[in-house]
Amino acid sequence: MSVSPSVPASAPTAVPTPTQADLLDFVRRTAADAELIASLPLDPEGRTWVRLEGPGGSEAWLIGWPPGTGTGWHDHAESVGAFVTAAGELKEHSLAARLPADGWKTLELTDGVDRERRLPTGRSRSFGRHHVHEVLNESTDRHAVSVHAYYPPLPQIRRYSRVGQVLRLEQVERPEDWQ
């Protein structure tokens, strides 16, 4: 007689870790929810945001961007992510260079690392760990709205200043700083 081990009915099921493709699919599906996008309160003076439930334990945000606003240069540390413009148009400047994870304050960037993307309504992108970028709403008269997702949930955001080819680490924010 063979005996098989019994598994309690309440045993937790493993939730798969969301990939960049999963996050991209989530932000696209979420941006297609016109009622949700229209529900975001928009402020003419500053960005607004609402936290969303992302897939597989990811962190997600619906963000409103008044005309002329942006994030400044930053990264999302060890998290991968995706975002989509749900309304309006955003512009992303990014660096095609892997930065050291820790132990530096100032870095001289090499020529050819700058990238620029226009993200009109419906356009999206995903990115890997340590992706350094800034996102801007360059419109002078129109809000933009976007959906973002990150996994693992953001452990920190490193903020940078940039003058020419010099990138300087200015601040490290933790979740309690923006919740």
Q: Give the pLDDT confidence of 13-69 residue by residue, as tens digits.
A: 666 899 999 999 999 999 999 999 999 999 999 999 999 999 999 999 999 999 999
The DSSP code sequence of 119-133 is EETT-EEEE-TT--E
Looking at residue 104, its pLDDT comes to 83
Looking at residue 179, its pLDDT comes to 62
The alpha-carbon radius of gyration of the chain (Å, integer) is 19
Residue 100 has pLDDT above 80, yes or no: no
Which residues in 19-44 are b (16+ Cβ under 10 Å) and which e?
ebebbbbbbbebbeeeebbeebeeee
Looking at residue 178, its pLDDT comes to 66
